[in-house]
Chain A
Amino acid sequence: MTPRHRSIVAWIGAALGLAFLGYGLLVADTAQWRLHLLAGLWLLSLLPRTAIGQRAPLAAHGLSRLALVFGLGFLAVALQLAREQISQASAIHERAAALLQPATAQRPPSGGAPRSASLSSSCCSTESSGTAPRLRCRPSTSPAGPAAR
């Protein structure tokens, strides 16, 4: 294959890759999106790979390809971000909210009755002034607590 033919194939591949990625951003299914992402990035990489093979000096081939790998990786992250924050943001938001709802429903209401049974001994101290010892608790500093992590 002549260099001219390679360039033509690379340009066609880049156009197809852009089309794949653009269409993939609109696909709701995650597995299909990943397939589009992988195929699109591979097709898109044909153009810089051809350019590296034809123009870059032989000693710089390895470094240029390494830079290309990281560039494509960051492009994949940027596209994933674009999908999660722009094109499929509402769908992801709804799905995540539905998954989080049972967890938040099980959480006890804040500012309610004192929960002496669930408190650990580290946050409580007994005060013996008076006839009966009283339980004195200090509130936790983080509202979510370690369970959120």
Chain B
Amino acid sequence: MVQALYALASGGVTGAGLGSGDPTMVPESHTDFMFTSIGEELGFVGALALLLCYVLFALRGYQIAQRARDGFQQLLAVGLTTAVVAQALIITAGTTNLIPLTGITLPFVSYGGSSTLINFAMVGMLLRISATQKSARVL
């Protein structure tokens, strides 16, 4: 954790540059501390951009849930969105020392085949719910 904080603090506003970070300084930089690596290499601006992407994902997911036609689709959309966003929030807050750290991946970013596969499957289900709304509007 100290190494991660050291790396984050060296990142600054704009970071060290892509590929210019110190991979020996950040432990587990490809999985748990992926966000720290991004903060080190892309700085505060890059990390903030990634956080904005997750906020955008949450807003769109809840918008899909709000427009869902029946209760099942609404609950499914809320659950899928919350699962992805809560995971992202827990790991980003953990790596920045805001809450205790736990070993989970950063959705869509961290290394890990099964995690990425499941996350994209969730997005696929969300898009299916969204497509059902669109086709209902056209009819």
Contacts and interface: CB of A to CB of B under 8 A. Distances in A.
Interface of A: 60, 63-64, 66-67, 70-71, 73-74, 76-78, 80-82, 84-86, 89-90, 92-93, 96-97, 99-100, 142-144, 148-149
Contacts of A142: 24
B88 to A, nearest CB: 8
Contact of B78 (A63, A77, A89): A63
B116 interface: no
A93 B2 CA distance: 10
13 contacts: A71-B55, A73-B89, A73-B93, A74-B55, A74-B92, A78-B48, A80-B98, A81-B48, A85-B8, A85-B9, A85-B11, A92-B9, A148-B3
A99 B2 contact: yes
A80 B96 contact: yes
A63 B96 contact: no
A70 B44 contact: no
B12 A148 contact: no
B122 interface: no
A77 B96 contact: yes
Interface residues of B, number: 36
Closest 6 CB pairs of A and B: A96-B6, A93-B9, A144-B24, A92-B9, A85-B44, A89-B9
B126 interface: no
B50 to A, nearest CB: 10
A86 B96 CA distance: 13
A106 B13 CA distance: 32
B111 interface: no
B97 A80 contact: yes
Contacts of B43: 85
A86 B44 contact: yes
A74 B90 CA distance: 10
B110 interface: no
Contacts of A76: 93, 98
